[in-house]
Amino acid sequence: METKPARVRILDAAHELMLTVGLARATTKEIARAAGCSEAALYKYFDSKEDLFVRVLAERLPRLAPLLGSLAAAPGQGTLEENLTEIARQAALFYEQSFPIAASLYAETSLKQRHDEALRALGSGPHLPIQGLDAYLRAEQTAGRVRAGADTYAAASLLLGACAQRAFAYDATESGERPPADEFAARLARTLLGGISVAEPAV
């Protein structure tokens, strides 16, 4: 059986450990051991644990950032409802999978601060999807498909905030189940459009 390249093994091991023990407790030494390589080999591919975390998010989780970037670069493609539904679906899945990884950081304030500083140095962070969706909505505003007076940053924050909340807010309900991602995304998109889209001319 063909052995996976070291970088792939490291990403696989990091993803698994971050999910099972949390980002705060997944050390580079443990990740390297699980990947079957030395810690020095890990640092050949990744500058830090934060760099590894960013790569896990980018390569192992739903691809939210590329979707936002491609839509912002070409406004007017597809319908607003279709695009926002797909953004919400990808975001709901992204937060569902990333929340268990990052949640452990919130229990250790000093570690969370160091992690945030490292992410800023890497040009990454949880604010970027909001900025990406805001950029897309502003591009659609320029194209005339989003109402001129609409607050695109607030709209982006509302949509992605709801998707992030889905990752943990429904665990305490009687069923303990999250709303299905597809249905949840469609409802969010329709509701958001009611506040920001240009009214269709009467037929």
Is domain 1-60 given the CATH code 1.10.10.60 in the classification? yes
- Over residues 99-116, mean pLDDT: 80
Which of 96-100, 174-178, 192-196 holds the top average pLDDT?
192-196
Q: What is the CATH number of domain 63-196?
A: 1.10.357
pTM of the model: 0.81
How do residues 43-96 score in pLDDT, each as one tens digit?
999 988 888 888 888 887 777 888 888 888 888 889 999 999 999 999 999 888
How do residues 12-41 score in pLDDT, each as one tens digit?
999 999 888 888 788 999 999 999 999 999
The set of long-range contacts for 115-119, using a CB threshold of 8 Å and a minimum separation of 24, is 115/23, 115/50, 115/53, 118/48, 118/50, 119/50, 119/54
Calculate the average pLDDT of the chain: 87
Q: Please work out, in degrees rounded to the nearest 5, the angle formed at the alpha carbon of residue 19 by the alpha carbons of 54 and 7.
A: 50
- Over residues 177-203, mean pLDDT: 84
Q: Where are the domains of the chain?
A: 1-60, 63-196
Give the pLDDT of residue 69: 87
How do residues 142-185 score in pLDDT, each as one tens digit?
999 999 999 999 999 999 999 999 988 887 888 888 899 999 99
Question: SS in 3 state form for 10-63?
Answer: HHHHHHHHHHHCCCCCCCHHHHHHHHCCCHHHHHHHCCCHHHHHHHHHHHHCCC
Among residues of the chain, what percentage have pLDDT more than 70? 97
